[in-house]
Amino acid sequence: MNIHNVNLTVSAVRPNQYPKMGLPEIAFAGRSNVGKSSLINKLLNRKQFARVSATPGKTVTINFYNIDDTIHLVDLPGYGYAARSKEEIKKWGNMMEDYLRDREELIKTVLLVDSRHKPTKDDIMMLEWLRAYDDSGVIVIATKIDKLKKSAIEDNLNMIWDTLELGEEDILVPFSTKDDEGKITVWDIINLLITADDEE
């Protein structure tokens, strides 16, 4: 995709703050600090457009990034950050469930996991959540693949595949923000999703 204009439409905490432009939305979910903002920056060829924080759990809003008035890429708040209070976790859960269940513009939510580690119980729970709202197969991006030794990549991807119990209809994409690995594949997937959504 040739990108000309990108902007942050809104950082929302309530459904009445979500954009009303009717653009299709691709959302990115994952643990705190898994690299959602970094991935969005890489996709958009911008170094610090999506806000990247070294502090896990920093993103507590749903951030909608407008790409050429064609699509919104949506950065969802990270989960699994232990320092959050029970009240904050409940609020996060309600926000996420409302968005995933009720947002008509949402055409796909992509799960990000850290390629260096076995997916956590929270990752598995999130994947089950996504399957509950979308039965067309899940898309998982394994981030930080450049931090693995080349000899470990295949084993780690197999571990992720097996732990998340992925199947033939699912997609697992290794991704690195250090180089362009996975970038073209993710854009190809996004373009296919937009095209399929237009045909419905």
We report the CATH number of the domain holding residue 85 as 3.40.50.300
Please give the span between the terminal C-alpha atoms of the chain, in angstroms, as a whole number: 21
For 127-139, write each residue's pLDDT tens digit: 999 999 888 899 9
- Is 164 within the bounds of a domain? yes
- pLDDT confidence of residue 187: 95
Q: Residue 165: left if φ>0, alpha if ψ -120 to 50, beta else—which one? A: left
Distance in angstroms (rounded) separating the CA atoms of residues 105 and 72: 9
- pLDDT confidence of residue 1: 64
Beta bridge partners of 30: 112
- Is 1 within the bounds of a domain? no
Whether this model's pTM surpasses 0.85: yes
For 37-57, write each residue's pLDDT tens digit: 899 999 998 877 776 554 445
Q: Are the CB atoms for 36 and 110 separated by under 8 Å?
A: no
- pLDDT confidence of residue 83: 60
- Is 19 within the bounds of a domain? yes
- Is 139 within the bounds of a domain? yes
**Between residues 55 and 111, which one has the greater pLDDT?**
111
For 79-96, write each residue's pLDDT tens digit: 876 566 778 778 888 888
168 confidence band (pLDDT: 50, 70, 90): very high
Count of domains in the chain? Answer: 1
Distance in angstroms (rounded) separating the CA atoms of residues 85 and 64: 25
Mean pLDDT along residues 170-195: 94
- List the domain range (segments joined by +) for residue 176: 6-199
